[in-house]
Amino acid sequence: MAALAVNKTGPEGGRGPGGRGPAGAAVLECGVCEDVFSLQGDKVPRLLLCGHTVCHDCLTRLPLHGRAVRCPFDRQVTELVGDSGVWGLKKNFALLELLERLQNGPAGQYGTAEEGIGLSGESIIRCDEDEAHVASVYCTVCATHLCADCSQLTHSTKTLAKHRRVPLADKPHEKTMCSQHQVHAIEFVCLEEGCQASPLMCCVCKEYGKHQGHKHSVLEPEANQIRASILDMAHCIRTFTEEISDYSRKLLGIVQHIEGGEQIVEDGVGMAHTEHVPGTAENARSCVRAYFSDLHETLCRQEEMALSVVDAHVREKLIWLRQQQEDMTILLSQVSTACLHCEKTLQQDDCRVVLAKQEITRLLETLQKQQQQFTELADHVQLDASIPVTFTKDNRVHIGPKMEIRVVTLGLDGAGKTTILFKLKQDEFMQPIPTIGFNVETVEYKNLKFTIWDVGGKHKLRPLWKHYYLNTQAVVFVVDSSHRDRVSEAYSELAKLLTEKELRDALLLIFANKQDVAGALPVEEITELLSLHKLCCGRSWYIQGCDARSGTGLYEGLDWLSRQLVAAGVLDVA
């Protein structure tokens, strides 16, 4: 494998002091950085297109040429696929398998220099008696590293056999000597606040040096305490890592649930096959398509119905006009005949003229009657080719100069319902008189004709309100702003009113009347007291302050009703 250095070091070929490993070490290393390859991490070996192997870390340091890198050995180009960069390059699995076998292979009592390959960059400890052997134990008395054979050989006497020998993994740490007093080991840690010197100290530093009189503790317990805190932190980090991993898995699951994908399922006979599982995004798109498909179908039906209404109106109007044409033709013929008869009579002698008097008189009377009928017809019929069209919010079409709207006016007694009705109808103030039964008037506003039913609000008349709900398109509810104590009663009646099925689609206009009275409740407070935002949720409603005496605010309410009833842009069609 190119760019893979196998360095064999031994007694003859050991590395000098400047090498990356101790003398006698044998390593598989990257040909660029000369660091040892590892099974994972930044030193994992990756293959270039030319066949050379370079560690991942060195590949990330190579300059990019567009979306490619050049081999540091033969300058051949390797394209980087996708957005993963060097992560997308294949690992050298043959080398990884070799490294894994060398790492996990059985070791004898001692190994040769060629067998001792440092797989993770760690130096191999050689036997102090024979450097060709790999040490496996440490003598705590002799302070030497020994292989099993040399340990047995050098400690064969009764005295030396008593030496304590431990595995290398259990080798005790060597004591660190004080940098100020090299003959003394570091035994204490300074705990004095504000001390600028190194916290490590020997007994001389503690008693006579820079740390004289400072708070201190023994080195080993302090180190153990720090190790315990590190272990706690490591546990917290592991827990945090698990939480992040769990959250990442959830995110991945959510992404997959949104995007959908292929899923392996078994049929009734146990045969496995893949099927497409739609994600929530696809379901949402399907829902939108279905909604607008239904909307298109509904609009098409409404368009056909509207066109049929227009066609019927045009057909009826043309039939009437053609009938009028025929009638005018007959009338014109009769008038022409009478004129000819009169002209002929004028040319006859006196005797014949006198004899024709009665007939001429009858013809003149007939002509006068026909002329009077024609004049009345011309006065009542406007010859206009225009077809006034108005659209309601539910896309229904109305043809005619005025669109009729049925409105019911309700509220407590004394709220000013009748006063509002006659102010709109006659533009005059009417003294309050309790309504017994109902009043009905027609109010024309713009191209709308409101048929307003004013129903009495006394307690004994309220059960009769329901008889006026049929085909009602709007409800006007009048509240007396000057009587705070009756607002709760008005709320109760309004709540009952809004539960009626026949008024489910009706508009609701609330007139807060008597705003001119001193101490009257403002519109905002009435809105809160009636809980309109909660009570009228899902319904078209509006509250308008008004004064029935002067008419202030009344037409603003009618404007709102007009905008709600008629589609935008066609309110003023004439």
Q: Cite the annotated binding site by residue number.
A: 411-418, 435, 457, 513-516
Measured from the Cβ of residue 517, the count of other Cβ atoms closer than 10 Å reads: 14
Q: Which residues are annotated as a binding site for Mg(2+)?
A: 418, 435
Q: Which helix (H) or strand (E) holds 569?
A: none
- Report the C-alpha gap between 272 and 266 in whole angstroms: 4
For 6, the 3-state DSSP assignment is strand
Q: E strands within 223-281? A: 260-266, 272-278
Asked if residues 166 and 136 have their Cβ atoms less than 8 Å apart, the reply is: no
Measured from the Cβ of residue 128, the count of other Cβ atoms closer than 10 Å reads: 18
Closest alpha carbon to 199 in 179, 174, 224: 179
Closest alpha carbon to 202 in 220, 215, 183, 221: 183
Structure tokens at 514: 């008597």
What stretches of 427-529 show up as alpha helix (H) in DSSP?
A: 487-497, 523-529
Name, in order, each residue with C-beta under 8 angstroms of 248's C-beta and a sequence gap of 6 or more: none
Backbone angles phi, psi at 415, to 5 degrees: -75, -20
- Report the C-alpha gap between 448 and 425 in whole angstroms: 14
CA quadruple 303, 307, 308, 309: dihedral positive or negative? positive
Strand order across the beta sheet in which 137-139 lies: 144-146, 137-139, 165-167
What DSSP character marks residue 501? G
Asked if residues 186 and 200 have their Cβ atoms less than 8 Å apart, the reply is: yes
Q: Which residues are annotated as a binding site for GTP?
A: 411-418, 457, 513-516
Q: Which helix (H) or strand (E) holds 218?
A: strand 216-218
Q: E strands within 303-392? A: 389-391
34 dihedral zone (left: phi>0; alpha: psi -120 to 50; beta): left
Backbone Cα Rg of the chain: 53
- Report the C-alpha gap between 327 and 331 in whole angstroms: 6
- Report the C-alpha gap between 206 and 360 in whole angstroms: 154
Q: E strands within 417-498? A: 438-445, 448-455, 474-480
Structure tokens at 357: 């008097």
Structure tokens at 387: 């077809």
